[in-house]
């Protein structure tokens, strides 16, 4: 993420050059084509012509090669016939001044503001910076985001499960979401439901990270020591948000480090990440626009839920039809423990309380990247 504007100091292209393989000519010579011109040399990309193209002359030229002095247009090779032995070329068409010529600075000129602070540098941006010889820019450091799982039932070493145990999936998904968001996502392992272990894990995380993503222990369970400990060592807000999944959520500070207490259920932790953690940490990372982007789609399924006072975020698969419209259908089981539907989903469909969406109706969706 750029921390400061980047201004160009060079021209791109750095010199006038040809966009086509062909012959560099004086356009005035092509009036009344077909005409035959004398070929005075060949210019490959990376080389220059020793000489000047005068009236009645042409230079053979390859894409990207600099326009030779004297020439003001290029005739593409397909509209010429070259007689190598005679060093002549027949030009079949008349062309305008500047035909197939890319002038110097057509893309970038010195003084141009290339990219503003808050721009996330992607492939194209890096290519532009390389094209103007900029190798150093001022950036916001990737936030270091620690990911902790909590719960005695969690197993992460691949051993056979004992009764009551489950495998830790949240850490894998959250680490991957963080990495995909461009952050430095750090695996901080599992903190077992024991006050000492939880305290130690969170204090160490707060020391070493810019933000902490924990999952589990934020709901009403009796052994949720995460709550007790975070209240002791931090300044936390415990929330019940009127959404499903991802109702329980906690946010606060341990020292100066923000802690996002995501729910334990695998779908809930991902939804909570999308709605709350991603925008907030994105803001910390210097993004200039962290708003959620909602689109409209046509539902191909019934999307409804019993009245419960909550907005539901249903996991849906999407396709775009030939008119560019999104169509969505249920991606599978909608339980907050049914991660397969979340994995398959392209979007979350927002279904407000009391709204019954039937096939053909419009629905708002939050695309998942």
- Which residue, chain included where needed, has tokens 């300044």? 235
234 contributes a contact to Mg ion by CB under 5 A: no
41 contributes a contact to ligand AMP by CB under 6 A: no
For residues 323 to 352, the per-residue mask of contacts with ligand AMP, x marking binding by CB under 6 A and - elsewhere, is ------------------------------
Which 249-278 residues touch ligand AMP, going by CB under 6 A? 263-266
30 contributes a contact to ligand AMP by CB under 6 A: no
- Which residue, chain included where needed, has tokens 């010429």? 80
Instruction: List Cβ neighbours of 277 (8 Å cut-off, separation of 6 or more).
Output: 213, 260, 262
- The smaller minimum CB distance to ligand AMP, of residues 17 and 170, is found at 170
Give per-residue burial for 228-241: e unless 16+ CB within 10 Å, then b: ebbeebbebeeeee
22 contributes a contact to Mg ion by CB under 5 A: no
Member of 66, 178, 216, 258 binding ligand AMP (CB under 6 A):
216
CA distance 128 to 249: 41
| CB contact at 8 A, 112 and 8 | yes
Give one word for 216, left, alpha or beta, with left for phi > 0 and alpha for psi -120 to 50: left
- The smaller minimum CB distance to ligand AMP, of residues 182 and 189, is found at 189
Which 106-165 residues touch ligand AMP, going by CB under 6 A? 149, 151, 153-154
CA distance 284 to 230: 22
Which 242-271 residues touch Mg ion, going by CB under 5 A? 264
- The smaller minimum CB distance to Mg ion, of residues 216 and 261, is found at 216
- The smaller minimum CB distance to Mg ion, of residues 152 and 361, is found at 152
- The smaller minimum CB distance to ligand AMP, of residues 155 and 295, is found at 155
| CB contact at 8 A, 339 and 267 | yes
CB of 167 to Mg ion, least distance (A): 14
234 contributes a contact to ligand AMP by CB under 6 A: no
CA distance 256 to 294: 32
Which residues make up the interface to ligand AMP (CB under 6 A)?
149, 151, 153-154, 166, 168-171, 215-219, 221, 263-266
């Amino acid at each position: 993420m750029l921390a400061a504007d980047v201004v160009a100091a060079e021209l791109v292209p750095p010199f006038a050059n040809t966009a086509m393989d062909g012959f560099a000519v004086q356009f005035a010579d092509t009036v009344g084509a077909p005409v035959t011109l004398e070929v005075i040399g060949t210019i490959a990309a990376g080389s220059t012509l020793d000489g000047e193209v005068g009236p009645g002359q042409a230079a053979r030229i390859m894409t990207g090669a600099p326009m030779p002095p004297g020439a003001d247009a290029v005739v593409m090779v397909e509209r010429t016939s070259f007689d190598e032995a005679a060093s002549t070329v027949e030009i079949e068409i008349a062309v305008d001044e500047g035909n197939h010529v890319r002038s110097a600075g057509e893309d970038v000129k010195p003084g141009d503001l290339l990219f503003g602070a808050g721009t996330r540098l992607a492939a194209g941006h890096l290519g532009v910076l390389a094209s103007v010889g900029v190798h150093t820019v001022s950036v916001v450091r990737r936030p270091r985001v620690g990911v902790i799982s909590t719960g005695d039932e969690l197993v992460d070493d691949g051993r056979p499960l004992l009764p009551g145990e489950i495998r830790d999936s949240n850490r894998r998904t959250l680490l991957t979401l963080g990495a995909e968001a461009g952050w430095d996502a750090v695996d901080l392992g599992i903190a077992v439901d024991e006050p000492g272990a939880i305290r130690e894990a969170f204090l160490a995380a707060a020391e070493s990270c810019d933000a902490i993503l924990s999952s589990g222990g934020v709901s009403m369970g009796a052994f949720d020591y995460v709550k007790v400990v975070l209240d002791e060592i931090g300044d936390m807000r415990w929330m019940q948000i009127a959404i499903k999944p991802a109702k329980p959520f906690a946010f606060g500070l341990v020292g100066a480090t923000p802690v996002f207490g995501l729910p334990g259920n695998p779908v809930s932790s991902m939804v909570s990440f999308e709605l709350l953690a991603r925008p907030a940490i994105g803001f910390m990372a210097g993004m200039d626009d962290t708003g959620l982007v909602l689109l409209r789609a046509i539902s191909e399924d019934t999307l409804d839920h019993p009245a419960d006072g909550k907005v539901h975020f249903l996991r849906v698969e999407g396709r775009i039809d030939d008119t560019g419209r999104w169509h969505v259908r249920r991606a599978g089981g909608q339980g907050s423990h049914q991660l397969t539907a979340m994995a398959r989903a392209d979007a979350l469909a927002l279904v407000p309380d009391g709204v019954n969406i039937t096939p053909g109706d419009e629905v708002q969706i939050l695309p998942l990247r």
